[in-house]
Amino acid sequence: MFVDIAKISIKAGDGGDGAVAFHREKYVASGGPDGGDGGRGGNIVFIADTNLSTLADFRYKRKYAAKKGENGRGGRCNGKKAEDLIIRVPKGTVVREVESGRILADISDDKPVIVAKGGKGGWGNIHFATPTRQTPRFAKPGMPGEAYEVQLELKLLADVGIVGFPNVGKSTFISVVSEAKPIIADYHFTTITPVLGVVRMGEESSFVMADIPGLIEGAHDGHGLGHQFLRHVERCRLLVHIVDVSGSEGRDPKQDFETINNELKSFNPELAKRPMIVAGNKCDLTDDETVENFKNYIEEQGYKFFPIMAAISYQVEPLLKEIQEQLSKLPPITRYEAEPAPVIPEEEIEKQKVTVIKHDDIYFVEADWLLRILRTINFDDSESLQYFQRVLINSGVIDALKEAGINEGDTVSMYDIEFDFVE
Alpha-carbon separation of residue 114 from 57, 102, 228 (angstroms): 20, 15, 28
Q: Which residues contact 222 (CB under 8 A, 6 or more apart)?
A: none
Q: Percentage of the chain with pLDDT > 70?
A: 91
Q: Which long-range contacts (CB under 8 A, 24 or more apart) does 297-305 make?
A: 297/254, 298/257, 303/241, 303/276, 303/277, 303/278, 304/277, 304/278, 305/278, 305/279, 305/280
pLDDT at 2 over 80: no
- pLDDT given at position 223: 46
Picking from 102-111, 241-250, 367-376, 401-410, which range would have the lowest pLDDT averaged per residue? Answer: 367-376
Average pLDDT rounded to a whole number, residues 356-374: 83
| Mean per-residue pLDDT over the chain, rounded | 86
Rounded Cα gap, residues 144 and 306, in angstroms: 59
Q: Which of 143-147, 166-170, 312-316 has the lowest mean pLDDT?
A: 166-170
Ordered by start, the domain boundaries in the chain are 1-154, 160-327, 342-423
Please give the pLDDT value at position 1: 53
CB 299 within 8 A of CB 328: no
Mean of pLDDT values over 25-40: 83
Statement: 160-327 belongs to CATH 3.40.50.300 = yes
Per-residue pLDDT band at 215 (split at 50, 70, 90):
low
State the average pLDDT over residues 402-420: 86
Q: Which of 130-134, 223-227, 341-345, 380-384 has the least mean pLDDT?
A: 223-227
pLDDT for the residue numbered 28? 67
**Is residue 27's pLDDT more than 80?**
no
Compare 133 and 303 and report the one with higher pLDDT: 303
HEC assignment per residue over the chain: CCCCEEEEEEECCCCCCCCCCECCECCECCCCECCCCCCCCCCEEEEECCCCCCCHHHHCCCEEECCCCCCCECCCECCCCCCCEEEEECCCEEEEECCCCCEEEEECCCCCEEEECCCCCCCCHHHHCCCCCCCCCCCCCCCCCCEEEEEEEECCCCCEEEECCCCCCHHHHHHHHCCCCCCCCCCCCCCCCCEEEEEEEECCEEEEEEECCCCCCCHHHCCCCHHHHHHHHCCCCEEEEEEECCCCCCCCHHHHHHHHHHHHHHHCHHHHHCCEEEEEECHHHCCHHHHHHHHHHHHHCCCEEEECEHHHCECHHHHHHHHHHHHCCCCCCCCCCCCCCCCCCHHHCCCCCCEEEEECCEEEEECHHHHHHHCCCCCCCHHHHHHHHHHHHHCCHHHHHHHCCCCCCCEEEECCEEEECCC
Low-confidence winner among 58-62, 192-196, 265-269, 362-366 (lowest mean pLDDT): 192-196
CATH number, domain 1-154, options 3.30.70.20, 2.70.210.12, 1.10.10.1100, 3.40.140.10: 2.70.210.12
User: 342-423 — its CATH code?
Assistant: 3.30.300.350
CB 147 within 8 A of CB 9: yes
The percentage of residues in the chain with a pLDDT greater than 90, rounded to a whole number, is: 43
- What's residue 183's pLDDT? 57
The pLDDT value given to residue 415: 80
pLDDT exceeds 60 at position 189:
no
For residue 147, pLDDT over 90 is answered with yes
149 vs 168, higher pLDDT: 149
Residue 200 has, within 13 A of its CA and on its CB side, a CA count of 6
Highest-scoring range by mean pLDDT, 40-44, 247-251, 336-340: 40-44
- What is residue 254's predicted lDDT score, i.e. its pLDDT? 94
What is the average per-residue pLDDT within 254-270? Answer: 88
Bridge-based pairing state of the strands 362-366 and 411-414: parallel
| Of 151-165, 220-234, 386-400, the least confident | 220-234
360 compared with 160, residue with greater pLDDT:
160
Domains 1-154 and 342-423 are alike in CATH topology: no
- CA-nearest of 106, 95, 69 to 149 is 95
Q: What is the pTM of this model?
A: 0.78
Best mean pLDDT range from 201-205, 248-252, 321-325, 332-336? 321-325
Residue closest to 4 by CA, chosen among 115, 111, 90, 102: 90
CA distances from 378 to 52, 234, 341, 384 (A): 38, 33, 12, 6
pLDDT score, position 217: 53
Task: Say what the pLDDT of residue 220 is.
Answer: 45
What pLDDT shows up at residue 346?
66
- In angstroms, the CA 269 to CA 22 distance is 66
Q: Model confidence over 53-107: pLDDT tens digits?
A: 889 889 889 999 999 999 999 989 999 999 999 999 999 999 999 988 999 999 9
Residue 224 confidence (pLDDT): 47
Residue 36 has pLDDT above 90, yes or no: yes
- CB atoms near residue 290 (< 10 Å): 16
Closest to 147 measured CA to CA, from 58, 63, 56:
63
Mean pLDDT on 9-21? 95
Specify the pLDDT at position 186.
Answer: 56
What pLDDT shows up at residue 290?
Answer: 93
**Residue 219: what pLDDT?**
42
Residue 304 has pLDDT above 80, yes or no: yes
Q: To the nearest 10°, report the CA torsion of 101, 102, 107, 111.
A: -150
